[in-house]
Structure 1
């Protein structure tokens, strides 16, 4: 995306003809300024995506990681299926945890209806450290039918790509398979060490539509509210 070829965001915002009933002139002025910022945000998101796509080749995967799925054992290569790109979301449901992490569960639940669309282009699986029987039971309890879940029973994958200490932590990793070689492409690296003051750790853009929706409301995300497993 060539920034020099784009109209200024303020010009695009001024040309916006949307109006809502009974709005004041003060509201419209503020909304126009906000719209310009929203246009800049959209452009910045695309610039970041371009930089991500242009990353040099990541590290070669040299281990033959094995997982246990609903249909039996599978290697990392098997998880690609017929795709060249594989996304693995590691969720917090280790053997010591009585129930899955509410945040991970909420996050994963939003994708139930979108996974068939996503998997038209890339493979997408979910991995946790608990035995596969526990993962299957939790999946059925949520009524999920689209999630492809796997157990990292040995912890080899988790220690290499999620937490070196095998902590019960979330992780989002993207791998590619080109010319017979599997490489790591990108991982979410934003966490507590990169959070701004007074802000929960979060990635950008935020993959969870829960927070994106709340960001459009006057209540916002809040500072002490988090989703639960049940209400």
Structure 2
């Protein structure tokens, strides 16, 4: 017996047409939101950052790789992690298919993390990824764009993430079970794991000057998880119960 409401094809079609109207409305609102996002004022990046990359030391303008737009995924991989965050890893699995199209549209996609470059490249090889990954180890980039924090900020409760102070689950004490589990899978403890957070930032290079145009964090990243877009169209949706995803090489084949 079906566990969900059933009906005739005619009933399904009537409900589907109602849903179609709602989907079209959401699409129009999403288009308007994208325009509002792109209308944000640009903020000049005054500080000089130096990153470690496969090509050697690089500045923020270098990360554009000859293009005028740069999308940075702030991948959670702190200096004391043994492996990258499983959630960031699930999101990054979708980069490969998009990177070539973005590059042809004058946009470079790269990841940036605080772990040393050797750790990042070793993990990238394990995951079978090819996207560029830069290390911000030793510079302020992650801190300036609010995806990394100091232990003192953590102790004082002064962490500001997703434009709010102390409101994120990772700041709870004791930490939620998923945070503890993810931290363990990265070879560290929950407090150390929580010093880094996920996010993405956009930049533009114009007349030799870099401008910061946009950043988003937490649930603002949902649209970048390709698996979520598929699951939202599956019969049972995301069907979330605890930590249901893993790194792609940790699943038992079904």
Question: Considering the TM-score relative to the shorter chain, is it more than 0.5?
Answer: yes
Contact 1:162 1:170 survives alignment (8 Å): no
**Corresponding residue SS for 1:219:** coil
Provide, for residues 111-145 of structure 1, a one-character-per-residue CA deviation record: whole Å limited to 9, x for no partner: 11221111112111111111100101001111112
Alignment correspondent of 2:246 = 228
Alignment correspondent of 2:231 = 214
Change in 2 beyond 3 A, CA 1:205/1:223? closer
What is the alpha-carbon distance in structure 1 between the residues aligned to residue 210 and residue 98 of structure 2?
Answer: 26
Matched, 1:171 2:155: no
Match of 2:16 among 23, 26, 31: 31
Match of 1:80 among 56, 64, 73: 64
Offset of residue 60 of structure 1: 1.1
**Corresponding residue SS for 2:84:** coil
C-alpha RMSD of the superposition: 1.7
Alignment correspondent of 1:157 = 141
Match of 1:184 among 205, 208, 212: 212
Offset of residue 164 of structure 1: 5.6
Query: Which residues of structure 2 form unaligned runs of 5+?
Result: 1-6, 151-194
Contact 2:148 2:196 survives alignment (8 Å): no
Higher relative contact order (CA 8 A, sep 6+): 2
TM-score (norm 2): 0.73
Contact 1:65 1:76 survives alignment (8 Å): yes
What is the alpha-carbon distance in structure 1 between the residues aligned to residue 52 and residue 17 of structure 2?
Answer: 53
TM-score (norm 1): 0.80
Alignment correspondent of 2:29 = 44
